[in-house]
Amino acid sequence: MASVLIAFSILFLVYFALQHKRKKGTPFSGPPPAPIIGNLLQLPPTKVWERLFEWGRTYGPIYQFRLFSTPLLVLNTWEAGREMLDGKSALYGNRPLPKIIEMSGFDKGVVLEHDPTRLRQARKLLHSVLQPRPLAQYREILEHHVDVLLHNIMHEPEGYVDHIRHLTAGIAMEISHGHRVTSRDDPFVHRANIFADNFAEASLPNNHIVDWLPFLARFPSWLPGMGFKEKARRFKEQYFSLADEGHRMVKDDIDNGVARPSLTYKALVEGKPGEVPDDVIAFAATQVYTGGADTASLPFQKLISYVQTVSTLSSFILFMVKNPDVQKKAQEEIDRIIGSNRLASFSDRDSLPYTESIINEVLRLRPPVSVVTREAGEDDIHNGYLVEKETVILVNFWGMLRAEEHYPDPHTFNPERWIGRERSDPTHPLNIAFGFGRRSCPGQHLAEELVFTTVARMLALFDIAPIKDEHGNPFIPSDDSTNGGITFPVPFRCSIEPRSDRARWILEGLEHE
């Protein structure tokens, strides 16, 4: 028996040595791993991006660590992101696909699609409505929903986060299916929220044993411990039903001559028959508006950008509470350039550089997505270093946007740093926070327009200030943020009041319209 074990051990060691000999290149350096578990115990339970940033100071802009047998490669600078994800987008284009996600059908759509043909078709559909030129036809819709937000905030300022979520969901549903959301109880938004909860649960690390032991998916459902199979079946049924119902709604509207412009309408009516399969259209459109639902709990995944917009606008309100001088300076700019006879629109962006600089600094200091994941499709030698196939790539946006060499005093909110700085500057937050390569956020143009319009109109009409305690002293909220793939300021209260009688009159007029 002992001789058999010795022989087996020798064969294993020879095989292991041969495998590594075939792979030319030196592994990237990184924190020394412990046996079996790797660097698991060195990672904090929350805000892992901060630890990744600290390690980068020791091990450089690209380094490697391990969780059990899985290698993870960290990109801590924008230069590294451009070099690997833009320069080798075909190799590093896919996201890791947990087994429970695959079983639930959540790999259908643009977010986690691995089939290159279907991904290309889905992204083309998104670009058909989300690029600057086609977006122009939705500008009136966007401004309508922003005005609804302003009206809702005037009447219920303490619910500003819910109002922002309603704003993004309404715009998303119109763009995806031409459906106007007029109530918080809208059935499509309700079902999108169910999908978001299901997706969040399926995406949680360490939540399903089948993600670590994929072969369990082949076992029959009646065995003990196979409850994940029934859960995946329910998740898939709900998601597919959601996509199918929205798709059929637009088809019925087309047949009845009442369809409004949307991604689905454009694909069905203006595209060549059969050019894009119906299910690709249905899932791409569904992920547009499920991305606008209340998906605050989604871990690490990056949907179309509407949830990021909720995060960015919430952070904007926080920074205005904490920086009244910045708010006053932006209001003076808007009053001087726009006046009081109209509200700013996206076409005023170049005329309001200080307002724009506030948005840039919010996005830099509080990127809504701190880290995203990619996966190496094949072995790669990068600058002489080995990146093994299936290595998980961690793109640390939080760290990239706090590099002191590009952003002096990086932890301080300072919009002035962007005055006179060109939009083409590679260190500009808009060139980093929306990602790199073929998985960069396709909704960036819409997000930029929506955030600018909302911020400029809020500043024109409202004063955003701290609430006061029983002694009349201002209560300044915390800088802390939530944990997770999309981060938000921790819940805080503030005062949001019309700036003047005229501002109140304008807001009342929005209600009438």
Where is the binding site for heme, in residues? 441
Cβ atoms of 176 and 446 within 8 Å: the answer is no
Cβ atoms of 392 and 70 within 8 Å: the answer is yes
Tokens standing for residue 166: 């309603």
Q: Which burial class, exposed, middle or buried, applies to 336 when counting CB atoms under 10 A from its CB (0-12, 13-18, 19+)?
A: exposed
| β-pairing verdict for 62-67 and 495-498 | unpaired
- 260 φψ region: left (φ > 0), alpha (ψ -120 to 50), beta (else): beta
What is the C-alpha separation between 260 and 180, in angstroms, rounded? Answer: 10
HSE (CB half, 13 Å, CA atoms) of 96? 24
What is the C-alpha separation between 242 and 283, in angstroms, rounded? Answer: 9
Tokens standing for residue 139: 């500008």
For 91-130, give one letter per residue: b (16+ CB within 10 A) or e.
Answer: bbbbbbebbbbbbbbbbbbbbbbeeeebbebbbbbbeebb
Annotated binding site: 441
Cβ atoms of 307 and 368 within 8 Å: the answer is yes
Q: Which residues contact 508 (CB under 8 A, 6 or more apart)?
A: none
Q: Compute the residue count for the chain.
A: 513
